Amino acid sequence: MSYPHPIIAREGWPFVAGSLIAAIVVHAWLGFWWALPLWLIALFMLQFFRDPPRTAPPDPNAVLSPADGRVVVVERAHDPYLEREALKFSVFMNVFNAHSNRSPVDGEVVKTWYHPGSFLNASLAKSSLENERAALWIRTPRGADVTVVQVAGLIARRILCYAKAGQHLGRGERFGFIRFGSRVDVYLPLTATLKASVGDKVYATSSVLAELP
């Protein structure tokens, strides 16, 4: 599913346009100082909905970060979607990160899930199981199973996932968006080799989390 992202994500166009129009109208009628809070909101919307192009590393076995943010979890954990023990990575996105989500591997989407839920702080471990979330099961050409989970956060109230079962996703291909702070979990086979650690700052597509055998 190619997406010719035009620097500002399409999901943000109504927010960016609305905030800019409000700032311009108030500025014209009441002056700069009255409009200043609205100009700041418009600037926030522009930076939040930015969707910069990214280049994937050449290694086809590299598992790429699906989101911008900071790695908050690297551990052996139970994958609740494929019912297996797996290597789990969690990337936390704050409101200053770009929120476009991209496929960490090249492969076919085998199945998708959506679960309504709470809106706990996405940095908490229990948010992976209790918050609203959408998940993808991706099988790589070499048969590795990768689970990618978009998790809503305290402020995030809208998960957008465009991928469908049977669809092929390329490495770094855009598949969704989460509005206003959240996290993305990735479950990998235990045979994967770690390349990122807790605390690392990562970028969607360009940063490597692990390497598949």
Counting the structural domains of the chain, the total is: 2
Catalytic residue among 182, 197, 206, 207: 182
| Domain span including residue 29 | 7-51
Q: What is the reported pTM? A: 0.85
pLDDT digits (tens, 9 = 90+) for 90-137: 999 888 888 889 999 999 999 999 987 655 554 555 545 567 889 999
Question: Does residue 171 sit within a domain?
Answer: yes
103 is catalytic: no
Residues 136 and 88 in one domain: yes
Structural contact between residues 203 and 93, judged by C-beta atoms closer than 8 angstroms: no
Structural contact between residues 74 and 65, judged by C-beta atoms closer than 8 angstroms: no
Question: Does residue 57 sit within a domain?
Answer: no
